Amino acid sequence: MAVLNITYGGLSADYPLDLDYALSDMDVRRIAVEVVRAGGVRGITAPTLGENAFDNFVVDRVGGNRIYLRPKVPFG
C-alpha cells in the first residue's frame, strides 16, 4: 500500500492507494485526476478537472510508500 500526496491549487492532501508503489508516473497522474474529480481527496475538489491537469506535474517517490504529485517549480 502507498500514500499519494497531491498538491493542487495551493492545497495538499493525502490519498491512500491500495495499489503497488511501483506504479508508472502516467498511472499516478491518471489516478490523481480520477480521485480529485470524484471528491476522494479530502480538501481538494475539482469535479471539472481536465484529463491532462497533472501532465506537467512531478512524481516523487520517497521512503518506499509515499508518492508525491506536485507542480514543477523553477528550482526542482
pLDDT on residue 8: 96
Give me the number of domains the chain comprises.
Answer: 1
C-alpha cell at 74: 523553477
What pLDDT score does 1 carry?
A: 82
What is the span of the domain harbouring residue 18?
A: 2-71
51 domain-assigned:
yes
76 within some domain: no
- Grid cell in block for residue 24: 508508472
Nearest Cα residue to 58 out of 74, 41, 37: 74
Q: Is residue 60 part of a domain?
A: yes
- Buried b / exposed e over 41-64, threshold 16 CB at 10 Å, is beebeeeebeeebbeebebeeeee
Confidence of residue 22 (pLDDT cuts 50, 70, 90): confident
DSSP 41: S
**Which of 5-14, 20-29, 35-44, 47-56 comes out lowest in average pLDDT?**
20-29
Q: What pLDDT does 74 receive?
A: 85
pLDDT of residue 76: 63
**What's the mean pLDDT in 10-17?**
95
